[in-house]
Amino acid sequence: MTDISRATQKDVARSIGVSDMTVSRVLTGRGTVSARTRKKVLAAVEAMGYVKNRMAGSLALSRSNQMGVILPSMRVGIFPEVLAGITQELEKAGYNPVIGVTDYDLNREESLVESLLSWNAAGIIVNDFVHTNRTKKLLEKAGVPVVEIMQLSGDPIRQCVGFDHSAAAHALVDHLLAKGYRRFAFLGWHGTQFAASARFAGVRDCLSARGHSLIAPSYFDAPPGVHEGREGLTRLFEKTRDIDAVVFGNDLMAVGALFLCDELGLRVPGDLGIAGFGGLDIGQALPRKLTTIRFPRLEVGQRAARTLLNTLAGQSAPPVTDMKFELIAGQTS
Amino acid sequence: MTDISRATQKDVARSIGVSDMTVSRVLTGRGTVSARTRKKVLAAVEAMGYVKNRMAGSLALSRSNQMGVILPSMRVGIFPEVLAGITQELEKAGYNPVIGVTDYDLNREESLVESLLSWNAAGIIVNDFVHTNRTKKLLEKAGVPVVEIMQLSGDPIRQCVGFDHSAAAHALVDHLLAKGYRRFAFLGWHGTQFAASARFAGVRDCLSARGHSLIAPSYFDAPPGVHEGREGLTRLFEKTRDIDAVVFGNDLMAVGALFLCDELGLRVPGDLGIAGFGGLDIGQALPRKLTTIRFPRLEVGQRAARTLLNTLAGQSAPPVTDMKFELIAGQTS
DNA sequence: CTGTTAGCGCTTTCAC
DNA sequence: GTGAAAGCGCTAACAG
């Protein structure tokens, strides 16, 4: 906490002998001011390095152009892209994204939501459907539009924009089955209720429906990356070699696993089929393109922002927006 | 812009028959309130889902606990980590990071700085020393602490926390020379004055000082990734094959180039030495660890935040903080 | 075209 | 222990 004491509109006004309201008129562009006065005001503003105090402005107007964006992580490849999509759309409409990162901690999410509301965010984007009860209550009572992203299957507070992770898992598994793989393992993060667990459940259920079973599922405490992909596969091999395909919870893990296979001299897809989820650039820049599901990350961000903006503009927006995924049949399966 | 109408302290107060000041006392923890009244207030707050309007609060106090963090990109591997470091430290001290992303657009940076100041940010972290004149002026007049990160060589507005990119480049080149490489190329992003260009200059100058020259330098318009690494090397090979080492502006490019070499059957480091900059996980998870410079990303973020906090606390902080880099002599050179 | 008045929701200060 | 008054910097509404 620091004291802040900047020039005010009154200071600017006094310096050129007009009233503060005249300065306000010039700065907001509302109302009429003579060209000469306007010029003087702008000159004074520039000279004094005056910066408007938006706190006062927003308090007076009871509105803000700050849009809250709460994401679980910036180190998980998909979210920077989602954010880019959000930012693009918000900027076009003159809104500022205010970004918060939870690190998948629901209590942090709760306090971020509270903080955003306390700063009068005009709308809020949050990740997934998994929240504390208090977060849900706050968002429900918020009186501002709320969009939950990434997931579809669940009970949206207002609106959601995401993909069908279960359907994606089915598409992927069916592709692998068609390729002749039969002994599956899953390595990923499915210890919680987040979207990642929906992918795991989809893989498991699809295999089960087709009369196969999932061997050696295993998981991590936090969103895993390249390193965890290597480690996971290493540990899996210690338990069993009786597998011919591994589905990873995300692309980075799959990439790490591919690196390990290279080292071990395992042929992919000959000895082992490998697939990921996401469709990150890194997977498609490999010597052999990764088999995966491409989620339209940028588009989800854009659509989420547009949904918020449309709602604010009084248009009705559908409660559930299904952004289509795409199976990338790469060379690792 | 939307109307926002939430419950106010007055509403809470009325609902239990006390004055708004009593509610304020309970919520701020300042002043004395009887245990019974306090309980009633807290119950009412909870029941009504009341969230304090910080705009009004901050306006009254002329202070805020929002810390501005302006980063150039979230898709460039190092910045999410820097942000994580910043967030860690700020949270400990009860400050909120307010994040802005410029995409390396200096005009966007300018408007983000203005926006943060207008929201009474208690301090600001910006990237590099490259700003518009107006941005510099705003930051100088801001009356709040400012920390520029990533770079060292330049003229800090107040304080900076970063690495010596030139020294890092020298260390890397000397390592490669010691390994016997002689015909160097550089592929990266050095079209601007950002830190990336300091790395390029360092490579060029070191080679020159050692009596060698840099072959076929080439660059990109934007921060390049895995894909650009492949493309860049492909284009370079079209021009010349008379090179035995390629230094890349960042790790992702180097990884992409390694993938290409695999495809082309080029032996690394036998036929070609490859090095990056950064020290990202991905480079170290490869079958052959990438030769690179590790920048302590998390630590830069932490230190930058601490510098801000110390300054706010009235302690003096050094104008330049040099965070040491580390040469990773991997298996690609 | 410009100035004055009132109020946004909160906190500090001063009464009681 | 609690209430009433004043003001943070700005803008909408009304005068002139």
Nearest to A114 among B4, B51, B256 (CB): B51
Closest Cβ opposite residue B49 in set A1, A137, A282: A137
**A266 at the B interface (CB within 8 A)?**
no
- A140 and A116 in a single domain? The answer is yes
Interface of B with A in 14-43 (CB under 8 A): none
CATH code of the domain in which A253 resides? 3.40.50.2300
The size of the A-B interface in CB pairs under 8 A is 166
* Number of domains observed in the structure of chain B: 3
Integer Cα distance of A60 and B157 in angstroms: 34
A264 touches chain B (CB under 8 A): no
User: Are residues B170 and B286 located together in one domain of the fold?
Assistant: yes
B62 touches strand C (CB under 7 A): no
The boundaries of the domain holding residue A94 are: 63-163+297-324
B160-203 tens-digit pLDDT: 999 999 999 999 999 999 999 999 999 988 667 788 889 999 99
Q: What is the pLDDT of residues A28-44, one digit of tens each?
A: 988 889 999 999 999 99
Confidence of residue A3 (pLDDT cuts 50, 70, 90): very low
- Contact call for residues B70 and B112 (beta carbons, < 8 A): yes
pLDDT digits (tens, 9 = 90+) for A225-257: 899 999 999 999 999 999 999 999 999 999 999
Look-up of token digits 């009504």: B48
Task: Tell the residue number behind the tokens 């980590």, with chain if given.
Answer: B81
Angle B325-B216-B253 from CA coordinates, rounded to 5°: 45
Neighbours of B56 (CB within 10 A): 17
pLDDT digits (tens, 9 = 90+) for A39-72: 999 999 988 888 899 899 998 988 888 999 999 9
Buried b (16+ CB within 10 A) or exposed e, B223-233: bbbbbbbbbbb
The answer to whether residue B88 is domain-embedded is yes
Q: Is A163 left (phi over 0), alpha (psi -120 to 50) or beta?
A: beta
If one counts every other C-beta atom within 10 angstroms of the C-beta of residue A247, the result is: 32
Mark residue B31 as left, alpha or beta (left: phi above 0; alpha: psi -120 to 50; beta: remaining). left
A232: in domain: yes
Q: Which residues pair with A326 in a beta bridge?
A: A294
Nearest chain B Cα to A284, which residue? Answer: B227
Radius of gyration of chain A, Cα coordinates, nearest whole angstrom: 25
Bridge partner residues of A248 (DSSP): A187
- What is the average pLDDT value for chain B, to the nearest integer? 91
On whether both A173 and A281 belong to a single domain, the answer is yes
Minimal Cα–Cα distance from A298 to chain B, Å?
Answer: 12
- B13 and B134 belong to one structural domain: no
The model carries a pTM of: 0.90
Mean pLDDT of A202-224: 86
In this complex, is the C-beta atom of A143 within 8 Å of any C-beta atom belonging to chain B? yes
Name every chain B residue with its beta carbon within 8 A of the beta carbon of A52. 118
The number of beta carbons lying within 10 Å of the beta carbon of residue B10 is 13
Residues in chain B: 333
- Quick: pLDDT tens for B268-277: 999 999 999 9
User: Is B329 contained in some domain?
Assistant: no
**Which residues of A are less than 8 Å from B122 in CB distance?**
1-2, 4
B88: number of Cβ within 10 Å: 15
The angle subtended at Cα B59 by Cα B133 and Cα A43, nearest 5°, is 35
Q: Give Cβ neighbours of residue B141 (< 8 Å, ≥ 6 apart).
A: A49
Q: How far apart are CA B305 and CA B95, in angstroms?
A: 10
Residue B168 contacts residue B198 (beta carbons within 8 Å): no
Q: Are residues B22 and B112 in the same domain?
A: no
A173 and A317 co-located in one domain = no
Q: Same domain, yes or no, for A15 and A116?
A: no
* pLDDT higher than threshold 50 for residue B235: yes
Residue A333 lies in a domain: no
Q: Which two tokens stand for residue B317?
A: 């902080």
**One domain for residues B27 and B76:** no
List chain A residues with CB under 8 Å of B282.
Answer: 226, 252, 255, 282
Q: At what angle do helices A226-239 and A251-264 cross, to 10 degrees?
A: 60
CA-CA-CA-CA torsion sign (B110, B116, B120, B123): negative
